[in-house]
């Protein structure tokens, strides 16, 4: 079988980009233990250097999301220059509303105006970081919620949230977007103030055109049909970004495509069918994963490749056969058209594509052979390693 991809698929894959999170490179763990690996980055500069390795070997990961205050630095222009020197740029700026004692009962939803104002002001700081780094997207994951029925008024919290978001949205520049994530449970266990895509979408619709939904694949109840949500948000032009990861049980933040590569393919099929793969579609493809025990850079490379493989398969769907079967009500033939593409081994095709682009056909082998991990393990002794949080 030929290894070459059809020209339009190759073209689409060449322009695909995946953004990676700075917090993937620091030490992470569960509430039981944080494991420290040698050579962990000690500051945002070193996190960006590690992220640049992912781009160097895959060629499709040119942006890094930052998390404030974890990635707070003196001089953001300098940080952006450092990124550019390494061939990458700053992506979304993530705010943090989940590590301050003041936010025990909420942040953007808090009943106390002083605390709500503090949470809003934090987003003004994030917007300043966006201006200094050239970032387009302010990403908000709202951890607010309640643990017990009656603890607070569900409705009043929504009203306060709407007001807080409106103030943040008003502070954005005309070319900046607010992208709003949802999560069905955790850190609160009775209500979350943005538990689902419907709630996120309603807030985005109220805010304006530059407010869009972030779909984190790990933030749904088991068996949720995520590709249906993707199709629905794309119809509304309100899918701003993905946070890709895998979940087996809860919000596990494991490598995307690890738990369910078929689901990832189905998601990418909706994306391809809607033309949303194109760089100007407004959909940002990001990873949101934290490696607890596995080597960080290699783990990110694996995830980027998993997204690329799912995308290649989605691009191989015989749309004419699929369309004809759908129009004729040929249930099994339609399903077969999709499954044929899913079962195609695209790895040799992608290896050839990389070779054409002057990249090593096997990014993981090339990264391992580069000796980067040993090199940073020697160079980064002394100083505290950054963890999930610092």
Q: Which spans of this chain sit near ligand PSV (rule: CB under 6 A)?
A: 94, 141, 181, 183, 216, 243, 251, 253, 288
Taking contact as CB under 5 A, which single stretch among the options 108-116, 144-152, 248-256, 326-334 is the one that binds Mn ion? 248-256
Residue 319 CB, nearest distance to Mn ion (Å)? Answer: 31
> What's the half-sphere exposure (Cβ side, CA atoms, 13 Å) at 289?
32
Residue 112 CB, nearest distance to Mn ion (Å)? Answer: 26
CA nearest to 56, candidates 10, 88, 12: 88
Residue 202 CB, nearest distance to Mn ion (Å)? Answer: 20
Structure tokens at 277: 């793969």
Taking contact as CB under 5 A, which single stretch among the options 12-20, 71-79, 145-153, 215-223 is the one that binds Mn ion? 215-223
User: Using CB distances below 5 to 8 A depending on partner kind, what does residue 360 bind out of Mn ion, ligand PSV, none?
Assistant: none
User: Using CB distances below 5 to 8 A depending on partner kind, what does residue 50 bind out of Mn ion, ligand PSV, none?
Assistant: none
User: What span, in angstroms and rounded, lies between the C-alpha atoms of 162 and 169?
Assistant: 10
Residue 217 CB, nearest distance to ligand PSV (Å)? Answer: 10
User: Using CB distances below 5 to 8 A depending on partner kind, what does residue 94 bind out of ligand PSV, Mn ion, none?
Assistant: ligand PSV
Q: Considering the rule CB under 5 A, would residue 19 count as an interface residue with Mn ion?
A: no
- CB closer to ligand PSV out of 3 and 72: 72
- CB closer to Mn ion out of 19 and 216: 216
SS3 content of the chain, % helix, strand, coil (to 5): 45, 15, 40
User: Which of residues 216, 270, 309, 360 is near Mn ion by CB under 5 A?
Assistant: 216
> Strands, DSSP E only, in the chain?
19-21, 63-67, 89-94, 137-140, 145-146, 177-181, 191-192, 211-216, 239-244, 284-287
Burial 17-27 (b: 16+ CB within 10 A, else e): bbbbbbbbbbb
Residue 257 CB, nearest distance to ligand PSV (Å)? Answer: 17
- CB closer to ligand PSV out of 143 and 363: 143
Total Cβ atoms within 10 A of residue 111: 13
- What does the per-residue mask of binding to Mn ion show for 335-354, with x meaning CB under 5 A? --------------------
Structure tokens at 282: 């407004």
User: What span, in angstroms and rounded, lies between the C-alpha atoms of 334 and 359?
Assistant: 36
Beta strand 239-244 with 211-216 is parallel
Taken as a whole, the chain contains a residue count of 390
- CB closer to Mn ion out of 243 and 360: 243
Structure tokens at 338: 């999709």
For the chain, how big is the Rg over CA atoms in Å?
21
User: What span, in angstroms and rounded, lies between the C-alpha atoms of 4 and 256?
Assistant: 25
- CB closer to Mn ion out of 50 and 288: 288
Distance of CA 72 to the CA centre of its chain: 20
User: Which of residues 46, 144, 152, 243 is near Mn ion by CB under 5 A?
Assistant: 243
Residue 354 CB, nearest distance to Mn ion (Å)? Answer: 28
CA nearest to 343, candidates 364, 308, 314: 314
DSSP reduced 3-state for 62: coil
Cβ pair 169, 108 in contact under 8 A: no
User: Which of residues 102, 163, 227, 251 is near Mn ion by CB under 5 A?
Assistant: 251
- CB closer to ligand PSV out of 12 and 287: 287
278-297: contacts with Mn ion (CB under 5 A): 288
- What does the per-residue mask of binding to Mn ion show for 173-192, with x meaning CB under 5 A? --------------------
- CB closer to ligand PSV out of 144 and 181: 181
User: Using CB distances below 5 to 8 A depending on partner kind, what does residue 71 bind out of Mn ion, ligand PSV, none?
Assistant: none
> What's the half-sphere exposure (Cβ side, CA atoms, 13 Å) at 220?
20
- CB closer to ligand PSV out of 133 and 316: 133
Judged by the rule CB under 5 A, the positions of this chain that interact with Mn ion are 216, 243, 251, 288
């Amino acid at each position: 079988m030929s290894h070459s991809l059809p020209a339009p698929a190759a073209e689409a894959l060449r322009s695909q980009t995946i953004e990676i999170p700075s917090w993937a490179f620091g030490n992470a763990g569960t509430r039981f233990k944080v494991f420290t690996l040698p050579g962990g980055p000690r500051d945002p500069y070193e996190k960006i250097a590690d992220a640049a390795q992912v781009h160097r070997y895959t060629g499709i990961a040119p942006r890094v999301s930052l998390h404030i205050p974890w990635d707070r630095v003196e001089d953001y222009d300098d940080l952006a220059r450092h990124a550019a020197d390494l061939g990458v740029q700053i992506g979304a700026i993530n705010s943090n509303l989940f590590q301050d004692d003041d936010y025990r009962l909420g942040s953007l939803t808090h009943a106390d105006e002083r605390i709500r104002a503090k949470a809003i002001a934090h987003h003004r700081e994030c917007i300043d970081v966006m201006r200094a780094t050239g970032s387009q997207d302010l990403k908000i994951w709202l951890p607010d919620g309640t643990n017990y029925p009656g603890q607070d008024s569900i409705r009043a919290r929504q009203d306060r949230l709407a007001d807080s978001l409106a103030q943040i949205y008003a502070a954005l520049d005309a070319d900046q977007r607010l992208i709003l994530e949802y999560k069905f449970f955790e850190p609160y266990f009775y209500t979350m103030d943005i538990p689902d895509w419907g709630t996120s979408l309603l807030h985005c619709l109220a805010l304006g055109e530059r407010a869009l939904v972030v779909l984190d694949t790990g933030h749904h109840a088991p068996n949720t049909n995520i590709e249906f949500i993707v199709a629905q948000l794309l119809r509304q032009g309100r899918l701003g970004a993905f946070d890709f990861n895998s979940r087996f049980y809860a919000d596990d933040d494991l490598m995307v495509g690890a738990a369910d590569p078929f689901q990832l393919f189905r998601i990418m099929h909706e994306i391809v069918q809607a033309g949303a793969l194109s760089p100007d579609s407004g959909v940002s493809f990001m990873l949101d994963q934290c490696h607890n025990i596995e080597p960080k850079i290699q783990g990110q490379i694996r995830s980027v490749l998993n997204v690329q493989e799912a995308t290649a398969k989605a691009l191989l769907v015989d749309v004419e056969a699929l369309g004809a079967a759908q129009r004729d009500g040929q249930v099994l033939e339609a399903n077969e058209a999709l499954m044929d593409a899913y079962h195609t081994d695209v790895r040799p095709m992608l290896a050839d594509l990389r070779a054409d682009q002057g990249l090593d056909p096997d990014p993981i082998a090339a990264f391992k052979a580069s000796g980067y991990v040993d090199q940073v393990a020697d160079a980064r002794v002394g100083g505290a390693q950054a963890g999930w949080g610092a």
